[in-house]
Structure 1
Amino acid sequence: MNDLLQIAIDGPASAGKSTVAKLVAHQLGYVYCDTGAMYRAVTWAALKRGVKLDDNLALEEMVAEIKISFTPSDEGQRVYVDQDEVTDDIRLPEIANNVSTVAAQLSVREALTKRQQEIAFKGGIVMDGRDIGTTVLPDAQVKIFLVASVKERALRRFKENKAKGIMADLEQLEQEIAERDRKDSTRAVSPLVQAADAVKVDTTMLSIEQVVAKIMGIIQKKSKK
């Protein structure tokens, strides 16, 4: 595969996007960009600074001031806001339950979309999020839309939280994920929708390895055209 591709992987919360995108990027020798972590980092910064999560102008000023960066590690990428490492903090329920509000603000989306497009400009990128194939990289050669049932996604989140020592109620997680879906799919700016040329992959009954294999097959078919 000589040409460096832009690969967009979209889908709702806990559909497996980040895990799968990292593995696909590794197999291809591509850069992985976790756009969700960028929005979570902005949410963390807003909460820490006392910025209202729906104040478009205040968020615009804050995003212009902060630096979001990633560094590789044995456990995966580490996320920083300025000098503060926020890798674990941005995965806490407080962030997960508020990030949709921040992500719906036009100033935040415009600023982060620009940064993401700069990262992906030369190709050789696997980028996951909710509007990658529709807004960030509309000309991406490969577009994947991952889905899974709310019940399955809640169970995955429950297991992740338990592994981190975070107590959570499974039924409440289902409600939170369903509400996150509603917010993401109905927001005015870059809502979560499947791009017309994206391939839908249902991960509900598939292992991570099976999902990666299916996506690699889609990439190989696309690269031959």
Structure 2
Amino acid sequence: MLPIQVAIDGPAGAGKSTVAKLVAKQLGAKYIDTGAMYRAVGWLVLNEHIDPSDEERIVHLAESLRFSLTDSGIQVNGYHLTNEIRMEKVSAIASAIATLGGVREVLVDKQRQLAGEQSVVMDGRDVGTHVLPNANIKIFLTASIDKRVERRYHELKKKGESPSLESLRKEVIRRDHNDKNRQFAPLCRAADAILLDTTEMTTKQVVNQIIQLCRTKLGGEE
């Protein structure tokens, strides 16, 4: 099979990461979680007590990092990060630094390097519009705010946290605002992206639909 690039974008809680992992597995492609890269930088910013608005310092930090993605998390300079980058306080910092143009430029370059010339499934906020603008398949996943908050709630509960639905709703709304209104590569649907509303869909249904789209696309190219 020729290398294929699948770009999956969408807002927080749309189910991108779960779907992208399963699609990559079925396609035999490499999964690249761009959000984990921002979270890893956010985790380092938190632990090194860096001001989240100090763009110059965070850019230098991001430039110094070597990323390696694994099935269970992400390695940064050889250090394996898993659940610690999924904590709500890390999410908040990751969302803040993702609005910094200089940081995005550094991480986008690293994401493209990770993708290389192989088959990849990459999910994020600006994959189809900016990171991989020539991706074979572009998907924009979305869902109602209630469904996205519900998913985030259950995700955090599984990790032992005790989130408040009200606070999660505010956080998701805040992240949506930041993602859509940032100056550099804001969250938006690429003109050639297929819209999938996952509110009433199971994960299996979403994955099957994307796999079918990939097979149709590849069949048309052959």
Once the two structures are superposed, the pairs formed by residues 15-94 of structure 1 within 5 Å of their partners are 15-71=14-70, 76-94=71-89
Cα deviations across residues 6-51 of structure 1 (Å, max 9, x unaligned)?
1100000111101000000000100000000000001111111121
SS at 1:89's partner residue? helix
Q: CA deviation at 1:83?
A: 4.1
Quick check: 118-127 or 78-87, which moved more? Answer: 78-87
Q: CA deviation at 1:77?
A: 2.3
Aligned partners of 1:137, 1:143: CA distance in 2, in Å? Answer: 9
Q: CA deviation at 1:85?
A: 2.6
Instruction: Count the aligned residue pairs.
Output: 220
**Cα contact 2:144–2:199 (8 A) shared by 1:** yes
Quick check: 82-91 or 209-218, which moved more? Answer: 82-91
Aligned partners of 1:51, 1:189: CA distance in 2, in Å? Answer: 22
TM-score, length of structure 1 as denominator length: 0.94
Quick check: 209-218 or 47-56, which moved more? Answer: 47-56
Gaps of 5+ in 1: none
**Cα contact 1:104–1:189 (8 A) shared by 2:** yes
Q: Which residue identity is paired with 1:66?
A: L
Taking only the aligned residue pairs, the percentage that are identical comes to 43
Runs of 4+ with >6 A deviation: none
Gaps of 5+ in 2: none
**Cα contact 2:129–2:190 (8 A) shared by 1:** yes
TM-score, length of structure 2 as denominator length: 0.95
Cα deviations across residues 119-138 of structure 1 (Å, max 9, x unaligned)?
22213000000000000000
Cα deviations across residues 116-159 of structure 1 (Å, max 9, x unaligned)?
11122213000000000000000111000000111101101111
**Cα contact 2:42–2:91 (8 A) shared by 1:** no
**Cα contact 2:83–2:159 (8 A) shared by 1:** no
Number of the residue aligned with 1:177: 172
Once the two structures are superposed, the pairs formed by residues 138-217 of structure 1 within 5 Å of their partners are 138-217=133-212
Match of 1:97 among 92, 101, 122: 92
Q: CA RMSD in A?
A: 1.2
